[in-house]
Amino acid sequence: MELVTKKKLELYSGDSHPELAQEIAEHLGVELGEPNLRQFANGELHCRYGESIRGADVFIIQTHAGPNVNDALMQQLIMIDAAKRASAKRITAVCPYYGYARQDRKAEGREPITAKLVADLLSAAGVDRVVSVDLHTGQIQGFFDMPVDHLTALPILVDRCRDSGDVDDLVIVSPDAGGAKAVTRLANHLGADIAFVNKLRPKGVANTVVAANVIGNVDGKRCILFDDMIDTAGTIVAAADLLKAEGATEVWAMATHGVLSDPAIERLKNSSLERVVLTNTLPLPPEKQIDKIEVLSIAPLVADAISAVFEDESVSEIFGGENQK
């Protein structure tokens, strides 16, 4: 007797960003499964899948978001472990925002490399593959001994730039030298000029920057400050003020990840920025929703990547090389 096995896709979500997970599920045309997550009185987390996932291709969506990044990460690890012990055929961790990504090296002695630790934890839990969006540094892929699909929100942001008006007078600006490669890619797609803000970060003072000078011509130009994330917004706001002082007619900010730790919202609200464009890799709670902030969805991109992984197709070919780094 010949056995015919049918592939089965199972999609689950942690608690950190259920709205994004639901949108991804709708694009895929599947129902989100029930992981029955709960927290005991002492704070410990628990998971028990509501249906059999034996032999299934399981995708566990969890963005590593605040207010407690550690809970979000631990919840995903527990869900992975439960799926492994329930005999899932393959487990993919979908992490739209990868926690601790900025701790990717030792800047000084006696420091951890926590981005590597997170990779080790995911591996130890039993994950077979990772999907993420715009990692802080692409080298984080090397922390894993498994496939990592590193997606980028660039195509979505390129389209928004084109919708913003004539690109002839547009300048794409990096708020620091480290963003040169990303800014160049965006500018090349648009045929726009580039500029850089030289910033100083006082030693030993966290989340504090001083914008020193602009390298490039921004006088009479519309400027878009482009970065992978906005956290406390100190860098972006300082850069925007400097661009305006150098003659920029309008300044926008664009970033994939809106971390927006305090006092980011107050800074953005009172800044010289006309608009702040983010994607929904991280949730934006009501108290952080201000008129300047516009949120674009990365759900279609993530859904397409999940579909390609499930069908054992090339993710890079699906996106034509545009949406994988």
Which active-site residues does the annotation give?
Answer: 199
Residue 152 and residue 324: Cα distance in Å, rounded? 6
Q: Which residue has the tokens 């992975």?
A: 80
Residue 280 and residue 233: Cα distance in Å, rounded? 17
Residue 173 and residue 207: Cα distance in Å, rounded? 20
- The rounded Cα 260 to chain-centroid distance in angstroms is 13
Residues 303, 309, 314, 319: what is their CA dihedral angle, to the nearest 10 degrees? 10
Closest by CA position to 223, among listed 212, 213, 214, 234: 214
Closest by CA position to 76, among listed 135, 31, 118, 112: 118
Distances (CA, A) of 123 to 117, 189, 204, 241: 10, 36, 33, 43
